[in-house]
A and B are shown apart, each in its own frame.
Chain A
Amino acid sequence: MNVDGKLKLRKFLKEALEKHGDQGELSDSESLFVSGRLDSFSMMQLVMQLEEAFGLDFSTVDFDVSLIDSLDEIAAFVDANASA
């Protein structure tokens, strides 16, 4: 994933966290969902956002929260699955 894509993602995640009243730092490797910082509704919104922004189709992947639990994981997942 390019720098621009990662910035966009970080912005989305920071906004989601802020909506939960969470202004804490977000490192690239930090757990978002398993840790409980974000809820399943945010997970669903992230999935929809990723589909739209990167042309992903989640119906073709074996979805698991560990695929998208941190910024690094999301970036790797996008790189592996994004349509050209």
Chain B
Amino acid sequence: MTTNYNLAGAIHRHGLHTPDAVAVAYKGQSISYRELAQRAARLAQELRRSEHWQAHDGQPPRVGILASRGIDACVALLGTCWAGATYVPIGLKLPEERILTILSLCKLTAIVADADGAKLLGERLRAACPPVLTCSANDAMGEEIDSIAPAGQALLADLADAPAPMAGSDVAYIIFTSGTTGIPKGVMISAAAARHYAQMITRVLDLRASDRALETCELTFDFSVHNMFSTWEAGAALHILPATLVMNAVKFARNAKLTVWNSVPSLVGMLRQVKTLHADSLEDLRVTVFGGEALPESTVAAWRVAAPNTAIHNLYGPTEATVFCLGQAVAEDTAITAGRDFVAIGTPLPGNEAMIVDGNHQAVPGGDSGELAIAGVQLADGYLNDPQMTAARFPTINGKRWYLTGDLASVDASGVFHCLGRIDNQVKVLGYRVELEEIDAHLRAVSGIDLVAAVAWPTVDGMARGIVGFLGAIAVDSVQVIRDLKARLPAYMVPNQLIALETVPLNQSGKVDRQALRRLLDQDPA
């Protein structure tokens, strides 16, 4: 029997075996595995009924998910999976220009929107969109907005019908990340990679059906893939943190008696700063996953005081290797990366391999630093419509396909990997990947000034909290430039402030010296 790699398989399985268990909880409402499976199956039926439903060059149809966090967003995503399609999350907070770019890159067959997503669709977007279905708990099948045929009788789907078969090579999702040229890159993850990840990480973390796990991320951040699919693989309950309660995440977790915490480390840094992280406040937590950014030693120390009974896992990985591909449980004697006060990123997780290479893709001798390369079942198929970039970043080395992460790293004597920074100008802002050159490109375009540079600043606990833009000019209309940038870039890429400099410092190769600009800010915080 051929394996069905459909990610919705776990929902179907638990829908049959533990139908009444809570699958998702949000703002006082919850949905059981049975209901979630039924709603996903019905949405899938509706999607497949569309006359536009068709494969792309042997790949499944693509469906955009225009939804904020919540139960409806989970249904939208799982209904898409259930139908056997590739899901493409589109951030609700993205500016219209960015959404239009993504739409033009993807050739979507349909879009599934929740109530917030549907509201967002202005005329201009609607004109560029494929048919849109809304997916709302109040109207389970969704009002028909566009050309998809009306739902007809509101039949509850029969759970005897399994999710549509997906081959391992079918693309499960496409997530867009920042691209240096100014155009976002669509990372294509196969169903085999995604399913392996969900099953592997659930085993590694020993997640159980009795767990109650925290979701802190938007669907556009691939950390959400971990949160959702590891929780559902285990048959556990996903508790989604409402956006307005971010600073009260600890109280939220305590009230909901959460047992699994998933977040970027900088969330804990912010909780410490607003003083909502109290000693012994999270006694029910037994598993903590920190990922998406370097983990400061000080965050671990503070976390142990707040959550005395939890194992802490530091997980590392680029979107191109399916969420997390290296990691380790943090113990008292866990290696700290020298000079950086960050916890080491550990060893390859099952199914993954890692090595350090030099500029010629040759493995470097033990202990030396170089670029971290990843291989194994979790590697992405590559970048959407960009074979050149795919070939450059996913080279074949000694007969095996690798992904070059752009992270500078080394391996210590016990085989543990340490991340030492970037070999390029990529930074992480609150866990989101940002190519500073991409901001430069947009800064240049909206300001008309050639000499520009974005730097990540300020940094707290070594992690970037925002972006500052520099322009080689005597004066600049900051408010206007920022407003123009907001129309083009996601909020986390928009500078918090702009500084006009008559003389912009250059390095020896004649490029803008970002280090010098950062030092300028450190000396004289504006």
Contact = CB atoms under 8 A, between A and B. Distances in A.
Interface of A: 18-21, 23, 33-34, 36, 39-41, 43-44, 47-48, 57-59, 62-65
- In this complex, the member of B244, B465, B479, B486 whose beta carbon has the largest number of chain A beta carbons within 10 angstroms is B244
Interface string B312-347: 000000000000000000000000000000000000
Contact of B465 (A23, A41, A63): A41
Interface stretch (B202-210, B269-277, B372-380): B269-277
Contacts of B516: none
Given A40-B270, A41-B466, A63 B482 contact: no
Contact of A44 (B247, B483, B485): B247
A62 B254 CA distance: 13
Interface of B is mostly: helix
Contacts of B485: 21
6 contacts: A18-B478, A19-B497, A21-B485, A44-B270, A48-B273, A62-B251
Minimum-distance CB pairs A-B, first 7: A21-B483, A59-B275, A21-B482, A58-B275, A47-B274, A40-B246, A21-B486
Contacts of A41: 270, 430, 465-466
Nearest to B480: A21
B482 A65 contact: no
A65 B248 contact: yes
Contacts of B497: 19
A65 B241 CA distance: 14
Nearest to A18: B479
Contacts of A63: 247-248, 274-276
A62 B278 CA distance: 11
Nearest to B485: A21
Contacts of A43: 247, 274
B301 interface: no
B41 interface: no
Contacts of B466: 41
Nearest to A64: B248
B245 interface: yes
B496 interface: yes
- In this complex, the member of B274, B466, B478, B479 whose beta carbon has the largest number of chain A beta carbons within 10 angstroms is B274
- In this complex, the member of A34, A40, A62 whose beta carbon has the largest number of chain B beta carbons within 10 angstroms is A40
A62 B250 CA distance: 11
A35 to B, nearest CB: 9
B491 interface: yes
Contacts of B273: 44, 47-48
A30 B319 CA distance: 39
B214 interface: no
B69 to A, nearest CB: 13
B244 A33 contact: yes
Contacts of B479: 18, 21, 23
Interface in B450-506: 465-466, 478-479, 482-483, 485-486, 491, 494, 496-497
- In this complex, the member of A21, A34, A44, A65 whose beta carbon has the largest number of chain B beta carbons within 10 angstroms is A21
Contacts of A33: 244
A18 B276 CA distance: 28
A42 to B, nearest CB: 9
Given A36-B243, A63-B275, 8 more contacts: A18-B478, A19-B496, A20-B482, A21-B485, A33-B244, A41-B270, A44-B270, A58-B276
A82 B438 CA distance: 44
Interface in B269-304: 270, 273-276, 278
